[in-house]
Chains A and B, each alone.
Chain A
Amino acid sequence: MNRGIALILLVALSRAAFAFEAGAGKAEITPPLGTPLNGYFDRLGRGATRVHDPVWARSLYLDDGETKVFLINTDLCVLNRELRNRVLELAPNVVPREHIILTATHNHSAQGATIRPLLFRSISGRFMPEVLELTARGIVASMQAAYDARKRAAIGYTTTTQEGLSANRRHDGGVTDPQIGVLRVDDADGNPIAIAGNFAAHPTTVPDEDALAVSADYPGFFYQELERLSGAGCVALFFNGAEGNQRCGNPENKDGWARTESVGRLLATRVKEAANGIKCAEAKLQVRYAAPDLPLTIADRLLPHSTILHTLEIGDLLIIFFPGEPCVEIGLELRSRALARGYAAQFTVGLSDDHLLYFAPYVCYSHLEYETGMSFYGPFIEEWFYREFEKLMTRGNPETDRAAPEANTELLEKLRIIRFSGTSYEIGFQRGQVFREDLRKAYQEWVLAPVASRELVPNAGLWRLAPSFIDLSPLALPRLAVGMRPMLAGLSEDVVREIDGVAVGSSLPFDAVWLLQCLGTSAAPYDLADLYRAPYCTMFAAVGDRAGADDVLVGRNFDWKGDESVVIIEHCPARGHRFIQIGFPWSVGVFSGMNNAGVVLCAERVETLGRPGADGPPLELILRDVLQSADTSQDAIASLQALLHVQGYHVLVAGPRDTEARVLEFGPTIAVREPIEGLLLGTDPESPSADEAAQTRYGRLRRLLKEERIIAAAEIETFLRDREAGQQGQACILNDQTRCSVIFEPKNRRVRVAFPEEPGRLGSFAQLSLAEDKS
């Protein structure tokens, strides 16, 4: 018994007796002249011609008795995998490899040359194995120096404000991170061993005329000033933050190197002032490491499929390390989440351990800017990071993975009606799973194959110079996807989330599914006829007395070039209206549909009115959005009338009341047509915009409609089956391209649908209802 108590006491005392240890070290990693510098394409890979100031690797070794960690900052542009792997090979074997956290300051005036993959060399210059080795050995030397200098120590942190040292580089007055994080490590005598600053801004202040000079940029002046202020023996470290869209400010209004120096010294001064107020003590360290699979990316030949994530907790401080360049919005959101979980402070460090380019938040994603153009993991990558980092946080409730919902399919009178319900993401996920093969086939045929064969690759500029035996897809696909990003602008988040769900459900990258949605519309300007598909239809409404007791009836033959099969989907979204979508497996959009408020939308392509613009979403996605949100046909008309980029379509909008049917003609301007004598045709056969086939088709339809005084659903069925003798092709109401016939009864919230049994011969109509509540 006594021996047992003694053993417990001994263990407890030995634990208590262990002193917090720390050490700091630095080593110069200035490359030889002639080494290409990293970060700018404009340098064209040319080598450095002089050294303005040295570049460094700086390491901090921390050990709380249980957890040992190396925290390393390098004055490099990025921490690429070749370099990280080599450092881990050479690193002193005193901490687990997962406890080595490597970061770069994102300095644009240090060596490139360490990156082997061909397609990154346009930025990083020629690959020089000797520079890779020199850099890795320099980093390891700084680690060894830190370890060798370890001594009893105490640690503390604080935050201060940066007040004009950084600015948003995309928008004047845009979001910035006001915080400067400060970490201080003292020896047993209270002398600083190391002081680290955490601040978010691109080190891109080196003047243009010295573009080929080696420099550590403003962090170099920060080190000099901070070490001068702190005295001999203190190693200054700098960790860049969520700097994706942040640049340096210029509070002292300096030019050239003077500006670089000004930012560095001001930052050092603020860090030192804050550090002076830190009371250091021993603290518990927690290093969390994960190597998760990343969301799928269309740039899968350029970027890795998994990455490295680190968090470091020092007492109640949480430091999060991003494997790339997060925009500031992401850093701020993560900070608020961390604080909500009970951390007293949070620092974000970018460019750590890996480089997956930029991470743009959803709010920026549709703006074609440099950061979004270099972001390839989808519009919701921020949420992926939030989830993954929250899994690593030791405070607050554990984060769980999203559950995968299952689709609900029903067979109704030989029609395959599929009901999707849940959040927009869940609906998309179900859709992706159900139509996985259709989506993947469409992606292969409409995107991958034409890109590989260069049909979808510009025959201009550098593209033209590539030898024909090279497959440009690894470069062209991401560029094509980025080029389509602006078409996301104006879509509701619900639609974007549904597309994201489709991507995850079908195991495709978000950009792949997005290209499927918008390639038809965007391909039109390039005359890629095979990719361009749009309905040329027959649609009409009978209103008022002509519709009898129904008030409003809409008939629609949905004609389509191409061999895709039409699907009917009942959407039961978690918010907004339920609606029936008549479209295609690959398309999230609506070509014909009705919601449970009785709003009916049908679209018809009218080529003579112009081509749809590529600076906004495809019309069918907007219609899907409107169906989910519109309470009345007036709401729908108002939403559609606000569209500026849509051209070349007629959209029939109807509601349950007899006064609500309209056709919006999207030409150079938007014209609105109302029913005449209770009849509203999708296209006026006498309109100059109607082509010859449309004139014949709609002319015949008008005659048929006028022959009937009261037009009930039975009459509409007859009209939709009509094939005028002597006419062929699109001149017939029912033709070989008719994929389905639909009758909308808005008042009763009913939809009748019939599919051709063979081309030109319609089967029987089946009935669907949106009247009952299935939520």
Chain B
Amino acid sequence: MSETVRNYTGATGPLRRRGPVRPRRAVVRALLLLLTAVLTAYAFWSTRDHVPEGRFIPKEQGYIVCLRDILARRAEIGASNLWTALPESPVVNEVARAFRSDLGLPEWLLNNLIGQTSYLTGNRIAYAGDVLFITKMTRLGTLLSRFDQWTPWVQRDEAGGLGLRKLPQRSLYYAVRGRVLIVSSSRDSLIRSLTLLEADAAGEATLQTMFAEAGTQDVSGSLYFDLEDPAGNVLDSAQFAVQIDPEIIRVHCRGALRPGSSEHFGPLLSGASPQPLMVPPPGMVEISANLGKPVRDVFAGLGKAVPWPWLSEAQWQKWEQSSDGPVSGLGQMLTVLLGPTGPGLRLSWTGVDIHEMFPMPELVATADLRNTTAEALFGRLPTAPSGLPEWAAFPHYDAQTQRVYLPMIGGPTLEPTAAVYGKTLLLSSSRRVAESLLAQPPETHLLPQLGNLFVRIRPPEIVKSLVEVARLLVDMGMLPGYTPESFEAAASDWQQRAQHLDNITMVAAVQEGIVSAQLDLSLVASPPGAPPASVPKSLVSGTPSQ
């Protein structure tokens, strides 16, 4: 059957007049053309981009997050090892699945509905019920949205003439203004967004300013904390930007301390500015800190910032003076030796000795000896009473090896040891670890970035160590819920997942009440089962210290 348009006059055969037909057809064509032009003009006019997204974002929101090009990059993001590295959970699985393949809509439709830039915004960080999702659609997407009310899965909600749409199955409301699509699970939030006075809206200029610094980062945002929000008693506001690449996820963030928090953080952070950070000893967790203060002052400052009873100046003094028993003997050794050191302090968790009397984490610290010498330092320790057995829980100084050690219980893993190591004081919970490190030349490299705190965590090694410890407990029936068999199955999964996340690194700095940080999640790009790739971008290959 032909789809050619035909006109029937009602006359047939010889009665049909041919003469006047030609001009009538021309008129119809002209009308059709005109109609098409009008419709096209209407389509263009009705889908014109005349309302900016910023018009629908309230000015005083708790947070605004900008998502760039997420849709176009969703296959790439879905393929990231991040999803396999994260602990198994329905939420993670759902998000990963959505990125990888299934948003429930055809690709061409998605590409027309969700623009390159989208915003998530809400009034409270700790409350997800009023989130607005705002994006700009293509003309086609906007045009298609005109017909959505005829589809069975969309209901119309007049809302006093605002013409909302409701997706009952998803409990979502949305509206389209110009080419802007606004979606929310909260009807009230959506209505508020649509009825904002211009003066109450964030506006396009504000958004551009807000996200200009983030550049082409995949996700960026600004957060404004209430006192009740997590971290709200510390931070007033924060900005962040996230870049997701196959091998690394990089987060930059910057937070402004709440003015009132200086009472708590003042002693710790006052006068702090980015400092050179020395590379910490290698370990599963590595920390390098430099707040420009001696360790003792940092301890006292932490005592003001964190409400832990043992973290106080008074406790420090108590430890410093008492060595009665292994625990207070350790306290004395640490306080006496560490007190005058600094400002640089490195701490690493090198492993867990599963062969010790009970599994013990092995820690090693190095602290700058800038303002003191080894002799002065070790001379501060109380002299051991004469006749004390060499295994008594009292800090012993061995002049021959120039080591201080504190016999506690068990073997060398439970024997805190101190020695001078280059220009630092080395302190370890384990004599074994201390001796191993002391046999190597001291580290003199600096991290490439200035900062006050550097932390690197290596999940595969941590998981491996924890599995070994847990296995000991399972063997003795001391880990509820696991038999040796079920534990091995679970542990294998944990270890496989952890192998995808090579390390997590953070560098943070404080200056004039602003805390800035860079967080990198280095993923292993190799397929599961293949040997883990080497660390992609190293922050440790810094320059030698001056």
Binding site for B on A (CB under 8 A): 34, 36, 44-47, 49, 117-119, 121-122, 125-129, 209, 212, 301-302, 452, 469-474
Question: CB-CB < 8 A to A470: which residues of B?
Answer: 473, 478-479
Does B391 reach chain A (CB closer than 8 Å)? yes
Partner of A469, one of B390, B476, B479: B479
Whether the Cβ atoms of B478 and A36 lie closer than 8 Å is no
B414 and chain A: residue at smallest CB distance: A45
Question: CB-CB < 8 A to A452: which residues of B?
Answer: 480
A302 and chain B: residue at smallest CB distance: B476
**Bound form: Cα–Cα A767–B391 in Å:** 74
Segment at the A interface, from B173-181, B350-358, B519-527: B350-358
Query: Shortest distance in angstroms between B60's beta carbon and chain A's nearest beta carbon?
Result: 43
Whether the Cβ atoms of B478 and A117 lie closer than 8 Å is no
Interface centre among A122, A127, A129, A452 (most CB of B within 10 A): A127
Whether the Cβ atoms of A125 and B477 lie closer than 8 Å is no
Question: CB-CB < 8 A to B389: which residues of A?
Answer: 209
Does B294 reach chain A (CB closer than 8 Å)? no
Contact (A471, B478) CB under 8 Å given A46-B391, A118-B472, A212-B391: yes
Contact (A125, B357) CB under 8 Å given A36-B411, A44-B410, A474-B478: yes
Question: CB-CB < 8 A to B472: which residues of A?
Answer: 118
- 30 A-B contacts (beta carbon < 8 Å): A34-B411, A34-B412, A44-B357, A44-B408, A44-B409, A44-B410, A45-B357, A45-B410, A46-B410, A47-B412, A49-B390, A118-B359, A118-B472, A118-B473, A121-B356, A121-B357, A126-B357, A128-B355, A129-B355, A301-B477, A301-B478, A452-B480, A470-B473, A470-B478, A470-B479, A471-B477, A471-B479, A472-B478, A473-B477, A473-B478
Whether the Cβ atoms of B407 and A118 lie closer than 8 Å is no
Question: CB-CB < 8 A to B408: which residues of A?
Answer: 44
Query: Shortest distance in angstroms between A36's beta carbon and chain B's nearest beta carbon?
Result: 6
A126 and chain B: residue at smallest CB distance: B411
B interface SS class? loop
Does B429 reach chain A (CB closer than 8 Å)? no
**Bound form: Cα–Cα A49–B396 in Å:** 15
Query: Shortest distance in angstroms between A82's beta carbon and chain B's nearest beta carbon?
Result: 12
A-B pairs under 8 A by CB, number: 72
Interface centre among B358, B478, B479 (most CB of A within 10 A): B478
**Bound form: Cα–Cα A472–B479 in Å:** 9
Question: CB-CB < 8 A to A34: which residues of B?
Answer: 411-412
Contact (A125, B411) CB under 8 Å given A470-B478, A471-B478: yes
B477 and chain A: residue at smallest CB distance: A301
**Bound form: Cα–Cα A647–B410 in Å:** 46
A473 and chain B: residue at smallest CB distance: B477
Question: CB-CB < 8 A to B479: which residues of A?
Answer: 469-471
Partner of B355, one of A44, A119, A127, A472: A127
Does B475 reach chain A (CB closer than 8 Å)? yes
Does B185 reach chain A (CB closer than 8 Å)? no
Query: Shortest distance in angstroms between B415's beta carbon and chain A's nearest beta carbon?
Result: 9
B355 and chain A: residue at smallest CB distance: A127
Whether the Cβ atoms of B477 and A474 lie closer than 8 Å is yes
Closest 8 pairs between A and B when the two form their complex, measured CB to CB: A44-B409, A126-B411, A45-B410, A301-B477, A127-B355, A45-B357, A121-B357, A471-B480
Binding site for A on B (CB under 8 A): 353, 355-359, 389-391, 407-414, 472-473, 475-480
Question: CB-CB < 8 A to A121: which residues of B?
Answer: 356-358
Partner of A49, one of B353, B359, B391, B476: B391
Whether the Cβ atoms of A45 and B411 lie closer than 8 Å is yes
Whether the Cβ atoms of A117 and B355 lie closer than 8 Å is no
A453 and chain B: residue at smallest CB distance: B480
Question: CB-CB < 8 A to A36: which residues of B?
Answer: 410-411
Whether the Cβ atoms of B413 and A119 lie closer than 8 Å is no
Query: Shortest distance in angstroms between A183's beta carbon and chain B's nearest beta carbon?
Result: 38
Question: CB-CB < 8 A to A472: which residues of B?
Answer: 478
Query: Shortest distance in angstroms between A305's beta carbon and chain B's nearest beta carbon?
Result: 13
Query: Shortest distance in angstroms between B144's beta carbon and chain A's nearest beta carbon?
Result: 54
Given contacts A118-B358, A118-B359, A118-B478, 17 further A-B contacts (CB under 8 A): A34-B412, A44-B357, A44-B408, A44-B410, A45-B414, A46-B391, A46-B409, A46-B410, A47-B411, A117-B475, A119-B476, A121-B356, A125-B357, A125-B411, A128-B355, A470-B473, A473-B478
B356 and chain A: residue at smallest CB distance: A126
**Bound form: Cα–Cα A472–B359 in Å:** 16
A475 and chain B: residue at smallest CB distance: B478
Contact (A122, B357) CB under 8 Å given A49-B390, A49-B391, A212-B391: yes
**Bound form: Cα–Cα A49–B407 in Å:** 12
Interface centre among A34, A45, A119, A470 (most CB of B within 10 A): A45
B359 and chain A: residue at smallest CB distance: A118
Query: Shortest distance in angstroms between B184's beta carbon and chain A's nearest beta carbon?
Result: 41
Question: CB-CB < 8 A to A119: which residues of B?
Answer: 476
**Bound form: Cα–Cα A119–B478 in Å:** 10
**Bound form: Cα–Cα A46–B390 in Å:** 11
Query: Shortest distance in angstroms between B518's beta carbon and chain A's nearest beta carbon?
Result: 34
Question: CB-CB < 8 A to A127: which residues of B?
Answer: 355
**Bound form: Cα–Cα A452–B477 in Å:** 11
**Bound form: Cα–Cα A415–B407 in Å:** 68
Whether the Cβ atoms of B477 and A126 lie closer than 8 Å is no
**Bound form: Cα–Cα A46–B431 in Å:** 13
Whether the Cβ atoms of A126 and B390 lie closer than 8 Å is no
**Bound form: Cα–Cα A470–B481 in Å:** 11
A46 and chain B: residue at smallest CB distance: B391
Query: Shortest distance in angstroms between A376's beta carbon and chain B's nearest beta carbon?
Result: 15
Whether the Cβ atoms of A46 and B411 lie closer than 8 Å is yes
Partner of B475, one of A49, A118, A212, A469: A118
Partner of B476, one of A46, A129, A209, A474: A474
Interface centre among B356, B357, B410, B475 (most CB of A within 10 A): B357
**Bound form: Cα–Cα A471–B474 in Å:** 10
**Bound form: Cα–Cα A209–B387 in Å:** 11
**Bound form: Cα–Cα A472–B390 in Å:** 34
Question: CB-CB < 8 A to B390: which residues of A?
Answer: 49
Question: CB-CB < 8 A to A45: which residues of B?
Answer: 357, 409-411, 414
B407 and chain A: residue at smallest CB distance: A46
Question: CB-CB < 8 A to A469: which residues of B?
Answer: 479-480
Question: CB-CB < 8 A to A129: which residues of B?
Answer: 355
Whether the Cβ atoms of A126 and B409 lie closer than 8 Å is no
Contact (A126, B355) CB under 8 Å given A34-B412, A46-B410: yes
**Bound form: Cα–Cα A122–B358 in Å:** 8
Question: CB-CB < 8 A to A47: which residues of B?
Answer: 411-412
B326 and chain A: residue at smallest CB distance: A44
**Bound form: Cα–Cα A122–B472 in Å:** 14
Query: Shortest distance in angstroms between A533's beta carbon and chain B's nearest beta carbon?
Result: 27
**Bound form: Cα–Cα A472–B478 in Å:** 6
Query: Shortest distance in angstroms between B478's beta carbon and chain A's nearest beta carbon?
Result: 5
Query: Shortest distance in angstroms between A478's beta carbon and chain B's nearest beta carbon?
Result: 12
Query: Shortest distance in angstroms between A248's beta carbon and chain B's nearest beta carbon?
Result: 24
B353 and chain A: residue at smallest CB distance: A126
Question: CB-CB < 8 A to A125: which residues of B?
Answer: 357, 410-411
Question: CB-CB < 8 A to B359: which residues of A?
Answer: 118
**Bound form: Cα–Cα A126–B358 in Å:** 8
Question: CB-CB < 8 A to A473: which residues of B?
Answer: 477-478
B482 and chain A: residue at smallest CB distance: A471
Question: CB-CB < 8 A to B355: which residues of A?
Answer: 126-129
**Bound form: Cα–Cα A469–B356 in Å:** 20
**Bound form: Cα–Cα A340–B476 in Å:** 43
**Bound form: Cα–Cα A47–B390 in Å:** 11
**Bound form: Cα–Cα A718–B156 in Å:** 78
Question: CB-CB < 8 A to B475: which residues of A?
Answer: 117-118
**Bound form: Cα–Cα A209–B388 in Å:** 11
**Bound form: Cα–Cα A128–B476 in Å:** 19
**Bound form: Cα–Cα A33–B261 in Å:** 54
**Bound form: Cα–Cα A36–B407 in Å:** 13
Query: Shortest distance in angstroms between B385's beta carbon and chain A's nearest beta carbon?
Result: 16
Question: CB-CB < 8 A to B358: which residues of A?
Answer: 118, 121
Query: Shortest distance in angstroms between A449's beta carbon and chain B's nearest beta carbon?
Result: 12
Query: Shortest distance in angstroms between A512's beta carbon and chain B's nearest beta carbon?
Result: 15
**Bound form: Cα–Cα A531–B410 in Å:** 39
